[in-house]
A and B are shown apart, each in its own frame.
Chain A
Amino acid sequence: MNQTSPYRTYRPAPFTPEERGQVEILFGGLHWRAERLIKAVFENLGHRARILPTATREDLLAGRELADVGQCCPTSFTTGNLANFLRAEASRIGAEETARRYVYVTAGSCGACRFGQYHQSYELALRNVGLEAFRLFLVAQDRMDQGALAGGGLKVDMPLTLGILWAILCADALQSLEYQVRPYEVVPGETDRVVAACVDHLEQAFRNRPQRDGKWGSLAWHLGTGYFVEALREVYRRFEAIEVDRLRVRPVVKITGEFYLQTVEGEPNHNMHRWLEAEGAEVYPAAIAVWLDYWMRFYVQGFEDEVGVDRTARAKIAAVRALQRVFGWTYDRLRAALGGIPHALPDQYELRRLAAPYYHHRLSGGEGDMLVGKALWAHLNRRAHMICELSPYACMPNTMSIGAMAGVLGKHPDLLYAPLEIKGDAEVHALSRCQMILTEAKKRAQREYEEALERTGLTTERARALLEAHPEMRRATYRVPHAGAAGTAANLVLHLAARGRA
């Protein structure tokens, strides 16, 4: 066994301000709407940015081949995704030029979960494809102002962080609206066309975002401005043109799970969102904002442990909770610009209370107690007929909350829960499991609709006639209030009856 130079961890070469004009910042791993708006934020600040293509099954295989054995499924997808993109570029322009032309930026650790160690897989993959010189940077996800990354080419400061935050909130609001409209559109494909135009419009707005100097100036402007609200009002106007038929009975399926798999839309989760829609469901997507809200709650909980130990703990709790309120207020403001239709953020402390008998709120990694909390929240508040939990193969925190869900199902046997282990290469198995539960969810949605008709004394024909008399209710932008049913059609019947009585 011969001795060679000691092993040292990967250290990227600097990315300097002088390189800004030539270097493209690669990023990805979210849904396409958020990625497009974040790209615009980078461009707004004078960077060149490129979204990595959504990961594919080929990426999964490459990820498994290039990094250490036994990775969780999101690591394999994202590692292979980056490696395949760089490999293609290297064969086109050469390894040296690829390393010069691109840098990759991704979120760093949230603690002991393997998510914090993704970079290890990326680095190993880079070494294995001969791209050791490629520059990969980690950004902490819990600090708004982190200063410049090595070399100063990218400053993770308030204008960038706030831009990304607002981009995520706008994209979440749009996504939520979109998923509540498409299953009911009268003209097939119209929602997709409008959404594409709306993302173009929002992208333009973020690219032209006015610049404000200084940390506090930037924060004050983002909180006070009507700029994003106005951009979303234009989105609202475009959605107004879409005609919908909300008397179609669809089960509402809430997506939960590990962050990457619940967020991405594509092969990594077997195109689950689109598949569910094609099978006749209304999808309740997982907003990224919920996770950001949870992250703040996690800090609150850490400080709660310190009460009585650290004199500043209460002040810290008050500060983070105030931040949470501002965050919620901002999201509600953006939702209001879309007619209040996008789903509201669930109260984090209600999620914690619901999950408490089954899963301790301080258990960290991934979504923590939220998977249990969200499932119960949706079930008990009649926000969904079914929970589809996208659980990656070998995900450490996710498997634990699925195990705890066994206790939840013992107490709530009527909760329709489909935990799907996603490996990337067992699609038929995952989809058929989901379909079994979905079949029951469809029956429940139908039963709920019929009960709403019975309770109100309406018939479907009479409900349709009432809709004809109120053409505004056939627009995508009409908000059907939640009247206690999980399904849109049932809520609409209850709403029509209430309006008739008024």
Chain B
Amino acid sequence: MFGRKPSAAPGPRPRLRIGIPRTLNIWSTHQFWIGLFEALGIEARSIVFSSDTSEEQGREFGRGRGTVDCCYPVKCMSGHYGELIFGQKRRIDVLFSPMIYSLPSMLHGHVADSLACPRVMAAPENIRAGFTREKDVFAEQGIRYLAPLVSLGDPRLVAKQLHPALAEMLPGLPMKEVQRAVDAGYQALSAFNDRLRGRSREILAWCAREGRPCILVLARPYHMDPGIGHEIETDLQAHGYPILWSQYLPTDGDLMDWLFGEQVRAGEIRSPFDIADVWPTSYSANTNEILWGAKFAARTPWITCVIRLTSYECGMDQPTYTPVQQTVERSGTLYFSFQDLDSTKPAGSVKIRVETIAYYLERMSADIIGRKQARMPPGCPLLG
């Protein structure tokens, strides 16, 4: 997922190695950062992402660096910082940990805002404190720490917000070049998202043609991290069910019209991406997408099961438990949630639950598809 392909780069740049913690909203924006740095002349191989989260990583590199007790996706970041600082064969020159204030979202313009979670956006400040409270570990290790605040949900501001930090890294860097790099970052992100949305559509089309069920995962982007989401969806996939993630659902006009057109024409919602009917205070980008994903699942016949993943003490997910569950279940779709996920994978209980879910999918999917299909208008573009 964090792969990269070489692109045409401008003139020579200092041979900098940039470390980026593979955490939080980096999981949904990594292609932006790769595209940006490559456009600035940083070689792809010099952009180092930390490993997937693991307990070992936390023990080896993050121990004693925690400053507060909060959700695991934030806490585990100490291990990622530590790994980038102490765990590289070749030292990094810059630890780049952006404070992502707002996010690009397919719902942008249809919801109140696309902000990041308050904990997630502030996490770099919190984690940094664990590496500077006694002595400045970054300075000691000769690593420049850069954590610019960036409103990725508002492209107009991004170049201006990133320029000071990038110019610190690449002295004399003109604003114009930052703007070009930002544009390249958005293009890379957009191309990547489009590709994955296309793949999701192919899966749905295959399910529709074959009359086969699939599973939708409703979670935050960082639950794709095997150390955070514990690969629960992979265990389900092993039972033969294709897996979709709500972040990469298809958004093509024909499909949107088939799924939501009736509700739009009835005046219940303003557009297929409007979630005011189920979630009026739509400020959080990831929350909004989870709610929209629930609506998508409720209408899509071949999504016969929704898996909800949430981390322990997630304050953003907590108020959404009932609306999401109700939105899904009232459509007759199976709904299973794995709440309070933490550092340790509860392997035994996950195994039992996965088997239970597979059993219900096997037993009920055909009926669910039939009933959901009967409620939808004719002319499904997935069958076209």
Contact = CB atoms under 8 A, between A and B. Distances in A.
B116 A403 contact: no
Nearest to B129: A407
A112 interface: yes
Interface stretch (B32-40, B45-53, B154-162, B226-234): B154-162
B133 A410 contact: yes
A42 B321 CA distance: 35
Given A116-B283, A410-B133, A3 B330 contact: yes
B151 interface: yes
Nearest to B335: A1
B278 A396 contact: no
B342 interface: no
B149 A119 contact: no
Contacts of A1: 329, 332-334, 364, 368
A116 B330 CA distance: 26
Nearest to B367: A1
Interface in A109-139: 109, 111-114, 116-117, 119-121, 124, 138
A68 interface: yes
Given A8-B277, A68-B318, A404-B125, A363 B330 contact: no
Interface string B309-328: 00001111111111100110
Contacts of A366: 118
B67 interface: yes
A406 B156 contact: no
Residue of A2, A9, A397, A401 ringed by the most chain B CB atoms within 10 A: A9
Interface string B294-310: 00001000000000000
Given A1-B329, A363-B118, A404-B129, A111 B283 contact: yes
B118 A117 contact: no
A1 B331 CA distance: 9
B160 A309 contact: yes
A120 B119 CA distance: 20
A277 to B, nearest CB: 29
Interface string B362-384: 00100010011001000000000
Contacts of A72: 315
Interface in A394-425: 394-397, 399-410
Given A305-B151, A305-B157, A396-B315, A410 B331 contact: no
Nearest to A6: B330
Given A112-B284, A114-B315, A364-B115, A400 B128 contact: no
A107 B330 CA distance: 30
Interface stretch (A291-299, A339-347, A354-362, A468-476): A354-362
B117 A358 contact: no
A306 B314 CA distance: 31
- The range of chain A's interface size is 35 or more
Contact of B318 (A114, A359, A365): A114
Contacts of B329: 1
A390 B4 CA distance: 46
B133 A363 contact: no
Contact of B149 (A121, A360, A406): A360
Given A305-B151, A362-B101, A400 B134 contact: no
Contact of B332 (A2, A111, A309, A364): A2
B82 interface: no
Nearest to B304: A1
A403 B133 contact: no
A309 B155 CA distance: 11
Given A3-B371, A363-B149, A399-B70, A113 B118 contact: yes
Nearest to B135: A410
A7 B326 contact: yes
A110 B372 CA distance: 38
A402 B122 CA distance: 11
Contact of A360 (B99, B119, B321, B339): B99
B68 interface: yes
A71 interface: yes
B122 A3 contact: no
B69 interface: yes
Nearest to B131: A407
A225 interface: no
A120 B279 CA distance: 9
Given A117-B281, A362-B149, A363-B149, A404 B126 contact: yes
Contacts of A111: 113, 115, 118, 283
Interface string A251-290: 0000000000000000000000000000000000000000
30 contacts: A1-B329, A1-B334, A3-B330, A3-B372, A5-B330, A6-B327, A9-B276, A68-B322, A70-B318, A70-B340, A71-B319, A109-B283, A112-B113, A113-B118, A309-B160, A310-B156, A360-B99, A363-B99, A363-B125, A396-B118, A396-B315, A396-B316, A397-B122, A403-B70, A403-B129, A406-B67, A407-B133, A408-B129, A410-B132, A410-B134
Given A70-B313, A399-B69, 14 more contacts: A1-B368, A6-B298, A7-B327, A9-B276, A9-B279, A69-B321, A71-B319, A112-B116, A120-B322, A360-B149, A399-B126, A400-B70, A400-B118, A402-B68
**Sorted from nearest, which 3 A-B pairs have the closest CB atoms?**
A365-B118, A403-B126, A410-B133
